[in-house]
Amino acid sequence: MLDRLVSDATAGRSRVLVLRGEAGIGKSALVEYLVWHAAGFRVARAVGVESEMEMAFAGLHQLCAPMLGRLDRLPAPQRDALCVAFGLSDGDAPDRFLVGLAVLSLLADVAEERPLVCVVDDAQWLDRVSAQTLAFVARRLLAEPVALVLAVREPTPGPDDDRLAGLPELVIAGLRDDDARAVLESVMRRCRMPLRRAARRAGARMAPPPTTATTSGTARSWSGVMAIERPGRSPAST
């Protein structure tokens, strides 16, 4: 699904995805996978911070800060609203509709140069207005080369309603026992050969020291690589 999201954005079809799952399930790993495979994309990132949940526009500012040099390209009402929201100019509380339009215009403008992927991790910690604005933007992205991905911990920690509800989502669940075992065995197979090669190289560089008796068998040490001879088995060859 993430690969398709990247290919669609590259082709000029905006895509939005909310990754949901419990803490530690692998949402952040999927976010990193997306960023790694978004070759040629500009990447904008933000991370929700629990201590900033009461600071209006904090999460939005974190995401948009690298793009603020383009504010002069926005329509004046949108530019003024976003400048006030981000504390760049004085004024009354900005119209949130104009702030949402400003962020939408800003992302579209940046994506005209090259495709843009926006990722927000720990989105459950976003301040309310930032989450609402990003949801507003997500529902209005159409034909821009923009991908927007938000990772949300489930269940959400706050009492508020889910402000990202209704957006396309992918629920991340744990692996079944058989699948987890297959992954573990695959990793073990990949690790085993490098370790064996390291042991052979270490053994070739220096002669093994005198054999030392141990309670479980016989141990030989070559430059930090330990092989233990157990009853009924041959020691690792050098």
The tens digit of pLDDT for each residue in 167-207 reads 999 898 876 767 667 767 777 776 665 656 655 665 555 44
Q: What is the pLDDT of residue 219?
A: 42
Confidence of residue 45 (pLDDT cuts 50, 70, 90): very high
Q: pTM of the entire structure?
A: 0.71
Weakest mean pLDDT among 74-83, 151-160, 200-209: 200-209
Q: Are 164 and 128 in contact (CB under 8 A)?
A: no
pLDDT tens per residue across span 2-13: 888 888 888 888
Query: What is 2-174's CATH number?
Result: 3.40.50.300
Residue range(s) in the chain whose domain bears CATH number 3.40.50.300: 2-174
Residue 182 vs residue 51, higher pLDDT = 51
Q: What is the pLDDT of residue 195?
A: 56
Q: What is the DSSP string of 175-221?
A: PPHHHHHHHHHHHHHHHHHHHHHHHHHHHHHSPPPPPEEETTEEEEE
Instruction: Classify residue 148 by burial, with Cβ atoms within 10 Å: 0-12, 13-18, 19+.
Output: buried
Q: What is the pLDDT of residue 192?
A: 63
